[in-house]
A and B are shown apart, each in its own frame.
Chain A
Amino acid sequence: MKILVPLKRVADPDNANKVKIPAAGDKIETTGLEWKPNPFDEYALEAALRLTENGQTPKVRAGEVVVVTFGPKETEQTLRAALATGADRAIRIDTTDDKLDGDLVARALAALIEKEKPDVVVMGKQAVDGDSNQVGQILAELLDWPMATFAATIKEEAGALVVSREVDGGVATMRVKLPAIVTVDLRIVAPTSVYSTKTAATFKYNDGVRFAALPAIMAAKKKLLVEIKLADLAADQALKVEYKAFQAPPARKAGIKVKDVTELVTRLKNEAKVL
């Protein structure tokens, strides 16, 4: 099976307080931010690796995992890390973050998919910076492929994937024929979430995403990483989403102490208006 995994780097979500907005409010200041792979994209890569291996022999890849990212040269670090973790080759679509929206990314990916012809696109359900949650869905529409979103488990069958997602009060399971788009949620990296046809049903993975071994990090330098110009995939680079202004959330006000339950109830009713 050939799998395409789109990856995005995001400002380190653990250091969100370092995000600065200049006085003009026209953008988010990215200098000085530490970049990390979007966590959901890391989960997508882990799911793709699990789908292309026998869990017992993770060094042998059955099929191909291709990773792709959009961004300047520095984003190749994200791709190299993915190659070290087990992806076979990487593609960087050269552009800058401020010239992208979900629609353009999906259109460029669709053009790339025409060339690469993967059996599955496995991607994070959303990036934790903009929280747009739309590229997978737009992509499925553009390609007219079946789509399974927020996957918590994936099981490979011949020519199809059985994908489950958690919903209120239970689990919804669907079978998508290949080729298909799957977007993953955080439960996808649990020990028994993803099984390829090669992995024994009794096998359990370590919880979470795998680490790259040191020799693999060194070998990643030699894996193929190609650059494609965004213009070669999307002639029309007009954005549909326009960011008008940015502003920081209002600082939280200090709390107050109430003297008794009566006052608490009164305030909840009259001031907070939650009762």
Chain B
Amino acid sequence: MIEWSEMHLAIRDAFRRFVEAEIKPNLTELEHGDTPPYAVLRKMVETFGLADMARAKFAKDLAREARERDPGAPPRERKPSPEAGNEVAMQMIPIIELCHYCPGMVTALGVSMGLTARAITSRGTRVQKERWALPLLTLETIGAWAITEPSSGSDAFGAMLSTARRDGEGYVLNGSKTFITNGPYADTIVFICKLDEGNEPRERKIVSFILDKGMPGLTQSKPLRKMGLHSSPTGELFLEDVRVGKDRLIGETEEAQSRSGAKETFASERTGVAAMALGIVLQCQKLSIEYAKTRVQFGRPIGEFQLIQLKLAKMEVARMNLQNLVFRQIEMASAGKSMALAEASACKLYAAQAAMDVCLEAVQLFGGNGYMAEYQVEQLCRDAKVLQIYGGTDEIQVSQIARSLLAG
């Protein structure tokens, strides 16, 4: 794939129009006010018929799983199909367009429809999928995926303190989580913790439970104040003796291997960052080019100065690379392949750094204006920083890549 198809461009134009009509005029309120992003996101889902599409795909996936469970069924082969590539493209295009203005909205949307729903669809029982995943996929409910704790970030599993204890037929959950996207407003929370069987914390099994807002013992904090990404509410969760039945244990088995489940989730989370970075870079570049042409200093548009040209050229290099990373992901899906964790890590590492570099250059290009909130590059710059931190820090990506290079 070397360029978007005519259909992709039509989809892009439609989302662009939506973003310009619904998000751009409300940017100040979404970024600096107390309005959560969900109403606009739900309007987007309704406008583009995304809920119907999600329902159709959900039914198709359930039917396919049922077929595969049939012991006589042939093993599943992933065949090359342009459809699969198209599906990825149609996830990427809205991400790119939203990130022109609100990377936070992509985070809120992605954690709910992506991370949280996928944690349930990939490991849950059919009943769990229908009860909790489907409403997440249509954005009727908002989801949060709770793994990080005050003392466990990059070492998510090792230092995890949250526990589940068996209690008759069910479990009692305790612990606290932080930096949880959608935490303050989530209707459905996937809570990842360790099964306390009286053994050493390092040896405990990882299990995940599905919680509902308002359950006794569950407290959802107010949004935390952050450096950027203000259109994505982030909060803390506190669980104090939350009693749950086995029906809330994902997969209804303690052997559901949540550790590898979480790792799969990481890989998919990382690939989305390339599209986010591309959206941010496209907007920074567009604003910077306009500014370079119109801002006059020393009697000339600043675009005529070579140091400014260097910034624009570097932005273009980053844009091209990010565009190609996005195309590669679409191509891989079309070819029936998925990215290994190390490659996904390399993509994420590059994309996050490229977005940050471009944003800092854009702020510099705008000079004093770039430091002012009135010029949008200031917001994008604050937002871009999170790409180097969430979904695995740059340092963790480096270690993943190195581990794969040094293995074997």
User: Which A residues are closer than 8 A to B by beta carbons?
Assistant: 77, 80-81, 84, 208, 211-218, 220-221
What's the dominant secondary structure at chain A's contact region?
Answer: helix
B371 at the interface (CB under 8 A from A): no
CB-CB nearest in chain B for A84: B10
- Verify B52–A217 contact, CB threshold 8 A: no
- A81 to B16 Cα, complex, angstroms: 13
- A215 to B14 Cα, complex, angstroms: 12
- Verify B9–A213 contact, CB threshold 8 A: no
- A199 to B47 Cα, complex, angstroms: 20
- Verify B14–A211 contact, CB threshold 8 A: yes
- A217 to B17 Cα, complex, angstroms: 14
B53 at the interface (CB under 8 A from A): yes
Please pick, from A80, A81, A214, the residue contacting B90 in the complex, using a CB distance under 8 A.
A214
B:237-294 near A, CB below 8 Å? none
B33 at the interface (CB under 8 A from A): no
What are 16 pairs between A and B in contact, CB < 8 Å? Answer: A80-B10, A81-B13, A211-B14, A211-B17, A211-B18, A212-B10, A213-B47, A214-B14, A215-B52, A215-B53, A217-B7, A217-B10, A217-B11, A218-B7, A220-B7, A221-B6
Against A, the Cβ 8 Å flags (1 = close, 0 = not) of B32-59 are 0000000000000001111011000000
CB-CB nearest in chain B for A215: B49
How many A-B pairs have beta carbons closer than 8 Å: the answer is 40
Query: Which of chain B's residues have a CB closer than 8 A to the CB of A212?
Result: 10, 14
Interface size of B in residues (CB-CB distance below 8 Å):
17
- A84 to B18 Cα, complex, angstroms: 15
B:1-32 near A, CB below 8 Å? 6-7, 9-11, 13-14, 17-18, 21
- A84 to B48 Cα, complex, angstroms: 11
What's the dominant secondary structure at chain B's contact region?
Answer: helix
User: Which B residues are closer than 8 A to A by beta carbons?
Assistant: 6-7, 9-11, 13-14, 17-18, 21, 47-50, 52-53, 90
- A216 to B53 Cα, complex, angstroms: 11
Query: Which of chain A's residues have a CB closer than 8 A to the CB of B90?
Result: 214
- Verify A216–B49 contact, CB threshold 8 A: yes
Sort A-B residue pairs by CB-CB distance and give the 5 closest, nearest first: A213-B49, A214-B48, A211-B47, A217-B10, A213-B48
- Verify A214–B50 contact, CB threshold 8 A: yes
Known: A215-B53, A217-B10. 8 other contacts (CB 8 A): A77-B6, A77-B9, A80-B6, A81-B10, A213-B49, A214-B11, A221-B6, A221-B7
- A81 to B7 Cα, complex, angstroms: 9
- A212 to B49 Cα, complex, angstroms: 9
- Verify B53–A217 contact, CB threshold 8 A: no
Within the complex, the shortest CB–CB distance from A237 to chain B, in Å, comes to: 29
Query: Which of chain A's residues have a CB closer than 8 A to the CB of B18?
Result: 211
Within the complex, the shortest CB–CB distance from B315 to chain A, in Å, comes to: 19
Query: Which of chain A's residues have a CB closer than 8 A to the CB of B21?
Result: 208
CB-CB nearest in chain A for B13: A81
Query: Which of chain A's residues have a CB closer than 8 A to the CB of B14?
Result: 84, 211-212, 214, 217
- Verify A220–B10 contact, CB threshold 8 A: yes
CB-CB nearest in chain B for A76: B6
- Verify A214–B6 contact, CB threshold 8 A: no
CB-CB nearest in chain B for A206: B47
Query: Which of chain A's residues have a CB closer than 8 A to the CB of B6?
Result: 77, 80, 221
Do A211 and B7 form a contact, CB below 8 Å, given A81-B13, A217-B14? no
Query: Which of chain A's residues have a CB closer than 8 A to the CB of B17?
Result: 211
Q: Which of B7, B10, B47, B49 has the most CB atoms of chain A within a 10 A radius of its CB?
A: B10
- A81 to B10 Cα, complex, angstroms: 7
Within the complex, the shortest CB–CB distance from B64 to chain A, in Å, comes to: 20
Query: Which of chain A's residues have a CB closer than 8 A to the CB of B7?
Result: 217-218, 220-221
- A208 to B13 Cα, complex, angstroms: 17
Within the complex, the shortest CB–CB distance from B54 to chain A, in Å, comes to: 11
- A218 to B52 Cα, complex, angstroms: 14
Within the complex, the shortest CB–CB distance from A13 to chain B, in Å, comes to: 13
